[in-house]
Amino acid sequence: MRANLKQKTRDYLKKEYGAVVGNVEFFNPHSRQTVDLFGLFDILAIFNHTLYGIQVTSSSNFSLHHTKLINNKNLFFWLDAENKAWLVKWEKKKVKRGGKAYKWQLKIREYWLVDYREIENENHSKLKVDDQVVVWEDNKGGDKNEDF
């Protein structure tokens, strides 16, 4: 049975941050594809007096979604409006080597804008809008193992 990673993320945000969470992705029956808000986000969450746009994925699609985010001009407008953007990855890991028990491991990549002349971070987008580039950082608090 395939885990519902969006539901797992919604549960995590509610439990960890007390967030108000809404689904902003929908299924288009004509194209038979799901459509993300602004081509970026599956979920919107409000917590810490901030609006978060969140894309949820598995470990196998993480780099694909990362590339999709940093090459989308809409991300610049979203971040310029002082909103936050996260890419959330869920991965099932064995608790013990050779064992049968698994735990879900969560990784959060956060994005923000920086003037391209002030880049100190090696991780930045090639796309530049209004003299700004997107930079990112993984897990400020480190990986978390969650019992979800």
DSSP annotation string for 14-28: HHHH--EEEE--EEE
For the chain, give every domain's residue range: 5-110+138-146
Residue 142 has pLDDT above 50, yes or no: no
- Write the DSSP string, 98-126: T-S-EEEEEEEEEEEEEEGGG---S-B-S
Q: Tell me the pTM.
A: 0.84
Mean pLDDT, rounded, for 25-44: 89
Whether residue 42 has pLDDT greater than 80: yes
- The domain 5-110+138-146: what is its CATH number? 3.40.1350
pLDDT in tens, 79-134: 999 999 999 999 988 888 888 888 889 999 999 998 887 777 677 888 888 888 89
Which tokens is 13 given?
A: 């945000």
pLDDT of residue 96: 84
For the cut 50, the answer to whether the pLDDT of residue 1 exceeds it is no
Interacting residues of 7 by C-beta distance below 8 A, sequence separation 6+: none
pLDDT value of position 114: 86
| Average pLDDT, rounded, for the chain | 86
State the DSSP H helix or E strand holding residue 148, giving kind and residue range, or none if neither.
none
The pLDDT, as a whole number, for residue 125 is: 83
